[in-house]
A = this chain, B = another copy of it.
């Protein structure tokens, strides 16, 4: 059984990572996982939130959002509704936690980096594309801060990438586009560091609950995806 887009089960969609997509931001990346397109912008500022002042430690946070026209059917603008939905909140928190896993706050000093991940077009895997792209924007922002002498050391302790995996018709598949995502019995997002450790594992049974063996096969598949993405991140940053 082959996939609609001709990929094998353990193959990523075409991934592109375009750095410096914006002129103002300290780091900015347009990341594409197939038709999913996320603009990741890193803004760096002196100073930290009030609860951290005087600690000598930096801070990294993230905000994720979708443009109204990014989805198949236009969705209402959260600024117009006057409140952020649960899914948006949840993904913003996930992206922030994932990036903080590779940050040395001491080396960052009392600087704050905000990662804005705005989904321009959504076709499944927006949160994993956001994390993967945001890491590259974060690296550029750190380089920028280093360039202007604002750091006490190297704030990056490693790299981080993320991928979705899922079970479709009983088979584990890598990097689900929207049409697979809605059919998946189980859906898992895995965030890993560049040296192969787990930062976050979030698996959800959408249909029938899954057993330990299936969980193991999904983790193995995700690991392969993260290894591939880590290489692409490295190449993009070298480019």
A residues lining the B interface (CB < 8 Å)? 22-25, 28, 35, 39, 41, 43, 45, 63, 65, 67-72, 74, 77-90, 92-93, 97, 101, 114, 116, 118, 120-121, 123, 188, 192-193, 196-205, 208-212, 215, 219, 223
Contacts and interface: CB of A to CB of B under 8 A. Distances in A.
Given A203-B198, A203-B201, A79 B65 contact: yes
23 contacts: A23-B35, A23-B123, A24-B69, A24-B70, A43-B68, A63-B77, A65-B77, A67-B116, A68-B116, A74-B114, A79-B84, A83-B84, A86-B89, A90-B90, A97-B204, A193-B209, A196-B211, A197-B211, A198-B211, A198-B212, A199-B205, A202-B202, A212-B219
Sort A-B residue pairs by CB-CB distance and give the 7 closest, nearest first.
A197-B209, A41-B69, A86-B89, A78-B79, A43-B74, A79-B79, A201-B203
Contact of A215 (B78, B114, B205, B219): B219
Contacts of A211: 196-198
A234 B68 CA distance: 27
Nearest to A42: B69
Contact of A25 (B69, B79, B87, B196): B69
B205 A202 contact: no
Contacts of A79: 65, 77-79, 81, 83-84, 88
A35 B24 CA distance: 10
Given A23-B121, A90-B86, A116-B74, A198 B205 contact: yes
Given A198-B210, A211-B197, A219-B215, A82 B83 contact: yes
Nearest to A97: B204
A19 to B, nearest CB: 14
Contact of A200 (B45, B65, B193, B204): B204
Nearest to A96: B86
A92 B82 CA distance: 16
Contacts of A198: 203, 205, 209-212, 215
Contacts of A84: 79-80, 83
Nearest to A102: B209
